[in-house]
Copies of this chain bind each other. A is one copy, B any other.
């Protein structure tokens, strides 16, 4: 991008990450950790391949992204955030929270979705309201890929689902799952709208936020 040519720190930051796709590339690297070029493509539906290569180069030059060439057995380079790049995460989480209002009405007809994008909403909006109730795991399944929400000692963390079987499994559309996480949809309304809940309902109730104005129960 052309520089704003302003001696202002906000403008300088945007000179570096204000380009189209740049912050979404950082989002993907922050959510995935180190990953390959094709992983980034999968997590950034809509990006064109030349743009992705261009941005990665620019971000590498600006010390936001580092490219590692693995040892000979593995041939494909791996991209990851530098420490400086990782410092963008709170800003991205801020944008996530700010943008929630544009999500509550559901996706546009041709919006793409990846389950991983629920990670920050889960960590932001969920809370353990019964810290003494012991650990538990909730699996969220929005169709394409699942995430695991771990609840323990008053803390919420998100992991990739592994062999560990969850105490509760919630399956539904991205719109409904996000509505549950943000409190815009209550459990009963979600189930009425097609969400399926297997396992411990009480574990889910333990972490969900209090319903917001738009969420009425039947």
User: Which stretch in A103-111, A152-160, A208-216 binds the other chain?
Assistant: A103-111
Expressed in whole angstroms, the Cα–Cα distance for A138 and B84 within the complex equals 32
Expressed in whole angstroms, the Cα–Cα distance for A116 and B82 within the complex equals 31
Which A-B residue pairs are the 6 nearest by beta carbons? Answer: A13-B99, A7-B107, A12-B102, A9-B99, A7-B111, A8-B117
B174 touches A9 (CB 8 A): no
Q: Closest approach, in angstroms, between the C-beta of A40 and any C-beta of chain B?
A: 14
Interface of A is mostly: helix
B24 touches A102 (CB 8 A): no
Q: Closest approach, in angstroms, between the C-beta of A55 and any C-beta of chain B?
A: 14
Expressed in whole angstroms, the Cα–Cα distance for A41 and B44 within the complex equals 35
**Residues of chain B lying within 8 A (CB to CB) of residue A24:** 4, 6, 8, 10-11, 14
Expressed in whole angstroms, the Cα–Cα distance for A90 and B204 within the complex equals 31
Q: Which residues of A contact B (CB under 8 A)?
A: 1, 3-16, 18, 20, 23-24, 27, 45-46, 84, 87-88, 90-92, 94-103, 107-108, 110-114, 117, 120-121, 174-175
**Residues of chain B lying within 8 A (CB to CB) of residue A99:** 9-14, 16
A95 touches B102 (CB 8 A): no
A9 touches B113 (CB 8 A): no
Expressed in whole angstroms, the Cα–Cα distance for A46 and B15 within the complex equals 14
Expressed in whole angstroms, the Cα–Cα distance for A92 and B125 within the complex equals 22
Expressed in whole angstroms, the Cα–Cα distance for A200 and B188 within the complex equals 65
A96 touches B45 (CB 8 A): no
Contact of A112 (CB < 8 Å), options: B6, B88, B96: B6
- Nearest-CB residue, chain B, relative to A87: B98
